[in-house]
Amino acid sequence: MWQAYNSRGNRSNGNNNSDIIRRIVQLRLEQARLLGYPDYASYSLTRTMAQTPATVNAFLARLHAASLPFAKHELEEVRDYARSNGADFELQSWDFSYYSEKLKKERYDFDSEILRPYFQLEKVRQGIFDLYHTLYGLTFDEASDIEVYQEDVRAYRVNDGHRFMGVLYLDMFPRSNKRSGAWMTEFRPQSAVGGHEVRPLIQVVCNFSKPTADKPSLLSFDEVDTFMHEMGHAMHGMLSDVHCPSVSGTSVRHDFVEMPSQVMENWCYETDFLNTFARHYQTGEPIPPQYIDKIRRCENYLAGWLCLRQLNFGTVDMAYHTLTAPLDADESIEHFEHRQMTELLPTVDGCCASTSFTHIFSGGYAAGYYGYKWAEVLDADIFSRFKADGIFNTATARAFRDKILSRGGSRHPASLFRDFMNRDPDPDALLRRCGFTEQ
């Protein structure tokens, strides 16, 4: 199953994407040259916070150097654990997934399913609403008079105590004609053209299990984190206060757009926040402190390994988009990809991420996949101020709203960051959070 999944688009049939990748890469290079740039990344990155391929590659190299020793150590830990459980063979990628999960469960004595009873969807939703009320004074009033596009969708009027801020649509459950995953969409962005203010209409979509006759919708911790993430995007759009819709809300530089949503994920690991809503749906008992402790202890499990995986994807993305000539016709896409990666487990013939790498070939992240890690640095750094001032500190929240969230893309993100933090980003913020350097 692992090999089948990881060879999508790379089989000898009509669904092989290798030639399509070559064509896309070639056309992007031609586009960049027509506009006077040596490669596609040099063209694309002019619209980002990083600005140049050299900056991105230096950033990836720094994280690579910091995470690689930890990734190697984590691999040896999993290998030792596998051997102690009878695995007298060379570990493959599928074995690593299996034994690392068993080690996690044994080391932390933690089955994430025990958390579901404490994360009833309605209570999680109210907990998130209450957090935004505490931070920004927002209220969310369900509006049954607002027309929705499907019976399970709920609409909320959002106010901040002074004015109407917009409409939030929550679409939480799967259905047959709905794609998987979670996302935020602006049906209508905020703007204020010609003295006429237009407030946003914003959608958050998830695919959580529907309630049954005898059980409510109960979320995993990862789903709570996902909900918080997408609400971060939604409130970035909701709190926008700019003139033109083209720079409203989440219409920001590509490597800055994930920062507000990733900042909000940090609250999911804070005891004081979880205690505001996480209660057993049957008994009403608050989530036990030892469970919260286990959530926090698990946070950096395999941090080096997972960081290296993301960096590999970012490096492959930059390799395609810094080419100054078409891909070599004699080299397979699979071989080109593996040349860019730092692989600590045996390479599996036929397996190739590129041929199903929709983010960079059809999802708008060409020469931009590094942005996930870039945004993590920014969010780790920004949340360090909230930690220092207090995670419910309204003055800090107000500054974050006024100096970053409300500004959208109306100013360069580096300038917005400096306005809030009174300095440039600290590149070591993420390394400290992951445990790669001392606090």
Catalytic residue numbers read: 230
Distances (CA, A) of 291 to 208, 271, 328, 374: 22, 10, 53, 30
Report d(CA 416, CA 400) in Å as an integer: 9
Report d(CA 67, CA 190) in Å as an integer: 40
Closest CA to 74 of 100, 51, 53: 100
Report d(CA 187, CA 203) in Å as an integer: 7
Element (H, E) at 80: helix 53-84
**The token pair that represents 367 in the structure block:** 């020469």
Report d(CA 219, CA 231) in Å as an integer: 16
Phi, psi angle pair for 297, to nearest 5°: -70, -30
Distances (CA, A) of 255 to 41, 140, 235, 240: 13, 30, 18, 18
**Do 310 and 373 meet the contact criterion of CB atoms below 8 Å apart?**
yes
Element (H, E) at 16: none
**Do 408 and 240 meet the contact criterion of CB atoms below 8 Å apart?**
yes
Closest CA to 27 of 370, 366, 369, 352: 366
